Amino acid sequence: MIQLEQVTKTYPKASRPSLDNVSVSIDKGEFVFFIGPSGSGKSTIVKMLLHEVVPNKGRVVVNGKDVTSMRSWKRPHFRRSIGCVFQDFRLLPNRTAYENVAFALEVIGKTKAVARRVVPEVLELVGLGGKEHRYPHELSGGEQQRVAVARAFVNRPLILLADEPTGNLDPDTSIEIMRLLDRINRTGTTVVMVTHDSNIVNQMRRRVIEIESGRIVRDQARGVYG
Amino acid sequence: MRMKYVMSEVLVGLWRNVTMTVAMIITMAVSLTMLGASGLIYTKVADMKQLYFENIEVSIFLNADVTDEQRSAIAAQLESDPLISQATYVNKDEAFQRFQEMFRDSPDLLSAVKADQLPESYRLKLVNPEEYKTISDQYTAVEGVDQVVDQSQVLDKIFNLFTAGQNIALVAAIAMAVAALLLVANTIQVAAYSKRREVAVMKLVGASNWFIQAPFVLEAVVAGLIGSILGLGALAALKVFLFDGALSALQGLFAPVSWGEVFLTFPVMAGVGGLISAVTAWVTLRFYLRV
């Protein structure tokens, strides 16, 4: 599903590489944590999987597509197979929960009829049934992140990328979000999550890949934060 | 649904930043009016040149005391000159008739001039109107000739005036076009900034580039088209109030400007306005959104 083969990335003007000869293979349906201190290169990996950053050396393959050599005009279509969730939710403040999710469908060419059928379903799935018509400012942080997860998942992506999704949430809410991501993972979606949250990593007992200074220092099948 | 979405985004975008939109449309309109006007002047000058040069005459005025021998010598020389296609003799009476016709609206002038005050002349049509100089050199020195006058000299001065007017309009059009261009770039930046969240989400979920750009580009194009419609209105007003109004006394002098010609400038103005707007918006977005 995801392969990084001896990937090196040095940003212009940087003294040392952000990623240094990193190789990782993630299978379909896996749930993987990337952990490590700030500046270790975790975000660079997320950006590479989204084709926002291209490696200097090595190869990145996502969903069987070689991202390294992908032309930028192919990026939009490629993105449709990846759902994204971020620490800051990135919801549109002037749209309701329903409209936020529907927007993501409509801008990739789905009809309003499709949205009317699919959006309530996915909002129900993330536990927001009955709150479809609330605006983001009327929702709690956890609920906003649920909307974001719904938006990322509504198109049934093969991969869900979560970049510190619990970074802005209290521990209880974080655990609810993790339950949700776990449920999504059980539908067969590959989940890749970047986090600092040791509690969550320790509770989930999933594959942990630890990065430090651009190198993989640990890759454990049922790991803890350590 | 996508077309509807794009169109509603365009209208919302134009309205959100309405002062800027108005500024953009006005500069665009002025620029396109100048462009249209200079185009019209250009075609008119070409029309008029053709009209006038077909009828252009070189006149050889004879001395008041010219003798019959001198006159017939000149006539013979003109007859055999290969540069001249046609020579017509105008005697004093005919000259006076022409004069009366030409100035029939100015009785003061008519009463001041007596029939025998006007000189006899030969009106020449040249094979090539530009060989005036040769003719002039050749005949000025001939006995009995007072002076050789070329109408095209006078016309050239008028045409130079038109061409200058056309150039001024063109320079103004270009200057306004630069201003319009910068306004479009600025408007698009503001629009893109105010929609940065939507754009970020669209990029994230994989909306195609054209779909992200289309509302912005169309916003600029719509402004450009409205500008060109206003420009057409301005040109129509110029025709009604200036050519058919204030300058109607000079109608015989100018080739008339028809409605057809005015409307023909519209596709040009709309094309230029729309294209410049679209390209500017697109380039701005390339830099600003990196899509």
Q: How many CA atoms lie within 13 A of B102 on its CB side?
A: 9
**B206 close to A (CB below 8 A):** yes
**Contact: B197, A93; criterion CB under 8 Å:** yes
Q: Are residues B216 and B72 in the same domain?
A: no
pLDDT band at B200 (very low <50, low <70, confident <90, very high): very high
In this complex, which of B1, B5, B206 lies closest to A79 when CB atoms are compared?
B206
Per DSSP, the three-state class of A210 is strand
Question: Which residues of B are less than 8 Å from A108 in CB distance?
Answer: 205-208
Q: Are residues B138 and B233 in the same domain?
A: no
With CA atoms as reference, the chain B residue closest to A78 would be B206
Give yes or no for a contact between A48 and A67, defined as CB atoms under 8 angstroms apart: yes
What average pLDDT does the segment A32-45 reach? Answer: 91
Q: Are residues B34 and B171 in the same domain?
A: yes
Q: How far is B193 from chain A (nearest CA, A)?
A: 14
- Distance from CA of residue B131 to its chain's centroid? 28
Top-tier CATH class for A1-81+158-226: alpha beta
Whether the per-residue pLDDT at B117 is higher than 80: the answer is no
Residues 6+ apart with CB under 8 A from A161: A46, A49, A50, A82, A83, A84, A85, A192, A193
pLDDT of residue B246: 75
Pairwise CA distance, residues B40 & B37, whole Å = 5
B150 located within any domain: no
B220 located within any domain: yes
B105 located within any domain: yes
Q: Are residues B190 and B117 in the same domain?
A: no
A interface mutation test: which of B205, B212, B289 has the most A CBs within 10 A?
B205
In this complex, which of A77, A84, A106 lies closest to B204 when CB atoms are compared?
A84
Q: Are residues B205 and B103 in the same domain?
A: no
Phi, psi of A220 (to 5 degrees): -115, 140
Count CB pairs under 8 A between chains A and B. 51
Q: How far is B11 from chain A (nearest CA, A)?
A: 18
**Contact: B197, A80; criterion CB under 8 Å:** no
Q: Are residues B37 and B165 in the same domain?
A: yes
For A77-135, how does the pLDDT look when each residue is reduced to its tens digit (9 = 90+)? Answer: 999 999 999 999 999 999 999 999 999 999 898 989 999 999 999 999 999 999 999 99
Top mean-pLDDT range of A186-190, B184-188, B264-268: A186-190
**Contact: A107, B205; criterion CB under 8 Å:** yes
pLDDT band at B128 (very low <50, low <70, confident <90, very high): confident
Pairwise CA distance, residues A102 & A78, whole Å = 19
Q: Are residues B248 and B218 in the same domain?
A: yes
Give yes or no for a contact between B48 and B254, defined as CB atoms under 8 angstroms apart: yes
Question: Which residues of A are less than 8 Å from B211 in CB distance?
Answer: 107, 109
Question: Which residues of A are less than 8 Å from B5 in CB distance?
Answer: 106
With CA atoms as reference, the chain A residue closest to B212 would be A107
In this complex, which of B2, B5, B206 lies closest to A77 when CB atoms are compared?
B206
A133 torsion bin: left (phi>0), alpha (psi -120 to 50), beta (else): alpha
In this complex, which of B197, B200, B208 lies closest to A76 when CB atoms are compared?
B208
Question: Which residues of A are less than 8 Å from B1 in CB distance?
Answer: 106, 111-112
> Domain residues for B34?
2-52+156-288
In this complex, which of A75, A92, A111 lies closest to B1 when CB atoms are compared?
A111
B interface mutation test: which of A51, A78, A103, A107 has the most B CBs within 10 A?
A107
B270 located within any domain: yes
Last residue of a domain, one of B143, B171, B206: B143
B102 located within any domain: yes
**B156 close to A (CB below 8 A):** no
B121 located within any domain: yes
Q: How far is B240 from chain A (nearest CA, A)?
A: 49
Last residue of a domain, one of B117, B143, B169: B143
With CA atoms as reference, the chain B residue closest to A82 would be B205
Last residue of a domain, one of B143, B166, B201: B143
Ranking A55-59, B142-146, B249-253, B285-289 by mean pLDDT, the lowest is: B249-253
Whether the per-residue pLDDT at B177 is higher than 90: the answer is no
Pairwise CA distance, residues A66 & A215, whole Å = 22
Please, what sign has the CA dihedral across residues B253, B254, B258, B260?
positive
pLDDT band at B1 (very low <50, low <70, confident <90, very high): low
B149 located within any domain: no
What average pLDDT does the segment A169-173 reach? Answer: 93
What average pLDDT does the segment B212-221 reach? Answer: 91
Give yes or no for a contact between A141 and B239, defined as CB atoms under 8 angstroms apart: no
Residues 6+ apart with CB under 8 A from A150: A97, A101, A119, A122, A123, A125, A126, A128
Whether the per-residue pLDDT at B251 is higher than 70: the answer is no
Pairwise CA distance, residues B213 & B9, whole Å = 11
**Contact: B204, A108; criterion CB under 8 Å:** no
Q: Are residues B124 and B262 in the same domain?
A: no
**B203 close to A (CB below 8 A):** yes
Q: Give the sheet arrangement for strand B58-62, strand by strand.
A: B84-90, B121-126, B58-62, B145-150
Phi, psi of A149 (to 5 degrees): -65, -40
* Per-residue exposure over B210-225, b if at least 16 CB sit within 10 Å of its own CB, e if not: ebbbbbbbbbbbbbbb
In this complex, which of B201, B203, B208 lies closest to A103 when CB atoms are compared?
B201
- Structure tokens, B22: 């108005």
- For residue A117, count CB atoms less than 10 angstroms from its CB and return exposed for 0-12, middle for 13-18, buried for 19 or more: exposed
| Gyration radius of chain B over CA positions | 30
**Contact: A76, B209; criterion CB under 8 Å:** yes
Whether the per-residue pLDDT at B94 is higher than 70: the answer is yes
pTM over 0.95? The answer is no
Q: Are residues B86 and B32 in the same domain?
A: no
Give yes or no for a contact between A7 and A55, defined as CB atoms under 8 angstroms apart: yes
Q: Are residues B45 and B177 in the same domain?
A: yes
Q: Are residues B114 and B45 in the same domain?
A: no
Ranking A64-68, A214-218, B89-93, B252-256 by mean pLDDT, the lowest is: B252-256
Residues 6+ apart with CB under 8 A from B126: B56, B58, B83, B84, B85, B132, B135
Whether the per-residue pLDDT at B274 is higher than 90: the answer is yes
What domain count does chain B have? 2
Q: Are residues B12 and B39 in the same domain?
A: yes
**B107 close to A (CB below 8 A):** no
Average pLDDT for chain B: 83
To the nearest 5 percent, what fractions of chain B are helix, strand and coil? 75, 10, 15
In this complex, which of A92, A93, A108 lies closest to B206 when CB atoms are compared?
A108
Nearest alpha carbon to residue A129 among A151, A100, A98: A98
**Contact: A155, B207; criterion CB under 8 Å:** no
